[in-house]
Amino acid sequence: MAFLEIKNLKVSYGKAAVLEGVSFSLEKGETLAVIGPNGSGKTTLFKAILGAVPYEGEIIKEKNLKIGFVPQKLDLERDLPVTVEEFLALRHHGEESEKWSGKHSTKETLKMVGLDPSFLAKRIGELSSGELQRILIAWAVAGHPDLLLFDEPTASVDVAGQETVYELLYKLQDEHALTLILISHDLTVVYKYAPKVLCLNRTQVCLGVPSQVLTPQELEKLYGGERKFYRHNHAH
């Protein structure tokens, strides 16, 4: 059995289908990029995998699969008087393992995402967009998930910091044998980091190796004829 297998997934809100005909499978340690225009069902796919919305079809998961999720944004009041340590402690409080309880665990969690323990004393509102993104990643990996879902993980990060975030994701993947599914609008990121891509526009448009399936014809079908795309060639 595959680590994760989706069979003919369909999600409807009322009588309107917002996502249908989606089928793919992932083995442990694989990376899948999900692309498509706004409103194409990418985040809905994540919600279905998380069990947050009703769906038709099948989602078959490996037994006892633990999932971590990094949202595109977190609706926190920036002036909320909560420190990074208090924020992460909320996550650790829900973990059953004693390894993830207490102050020591928050320091270890920060270390995993490349932040100094001094960040524990900072308030959430004092963080830059890139620092907050790392804290959200820390929250997601604190429980040692097997599968990580990233909804446009660098949407709020400046261009200079985007590659650093992706390098961090793949460092975590290598160190902890994680399986990754990430939503991205950046085709350069897809070519560089994802050996497999899923194209969505309310239905499944294409699935496969980016260099093989992201043809001008498929991209036009996915995004419409008004955009111009260029084929990327990567030696790897």
> Quick check: helix, strand or coil at residue 160?
helix
Q: Which residues pair with 83 in a beta bridge?
A: 123
Question: Which of 54-68, 81-95, 209-223 is least confident?
Answer: 81-95
pLDDT of residue 153: 59
The C-alpha atoms of residue 151 and residue 43 are separated, in whole angstroms, by: 7
Cα 94 to Cα 97: distance, rounded to the nearest angstrom: 9
Beta bridge pairs of residue 154: none
Q: Stretch 69-82: mean pLDDT, rounded?
A: 74
Query: Cα separation of 234 and 170, whole Å?
Result: 18
Find out whether 205 and 197 touch, Cβ atoms under 8 Å: no
Task: Give yes or no for residue 73 having a pLDDT over 50.
Answer: yes
pLDDT at 86 over 50: yes
Q: Summarize pLDDT for 171-196 with one digit per residue, the tens.
A: 888 888 899 999 988 888 889 889 99
pLDDT at 227: 52
* CB distance 193 to 33 below 8 Å: yes
- Percentage of the chain beyond pLDDT 90 is 42
CA 95 from chain centre, in angstroms, equals 21
Give me the architecture of the 1-65+146-236 domain, per CATH: 3-Layer(aba) Sandwich (3.40)
What pLDDT does 236 receive? 43
Which alpha helices (H) appear in 78-225, and where do they start and end? 84-93, 103-112, 129-141, 159-176, 187-193, 210-213, 216-223
In DSSP notation, 37-105 reads -TTSSHHHHHHHHHT-S--EEEEEE-TT--EEEE-S-----TT---BHHHHHHHHHHT-SSGGG-SHHH
Confidence of residue 60 (pLDDT cuts 50, 70, 90): very high
The structural domains of the chain, with segments of one domain joined by +, span: 1-65+146-236, 76-144
Note the residue count of the chain.
Answer: 236
pLDDT at 74 over 80: no
Q: Cα separation of 106 and 49, whole Å?
A: 27
pLDDT tens profile 104-162? 478 888 888 888 989 999 998 888 877 888 888 888 888 789 999 998 755 555 555 66
- Give the per-residue pLDDT at 8: 98
Question: Each residue of 24-45: pLDDT tens digit?
Answer: 999 999 999 999 998 999 999 9
Q: How big is the CA angle at 26 (ends 24 and 28), to the nearest 5 degrees?
A: 170
Q: What is the pLDDT of residues 76-85, one digit of tens each?
A: 666 678 899 8
The per-residue pLDDT for 163 is 67
> CA–CA separation, 86 vs 123, rounded Å?
9
Spatial contact of 186 and 175, defined as CB atoms under 8 Å apart? no
Q: Poorest-confidence range of 46-50, 94-98, 104-108, 197-201? A: 94-98
Model pLDDT, residue 57 = 97
Asked if 119 and 83 count as a contact pair (C-beta separation under 8 A), the reply is no
Say how far residue 1 (Cα) sits from the centre of its chain. 23
Provide the pLDDT for residue 184.
87
pLDDT attached to residue 75: 61
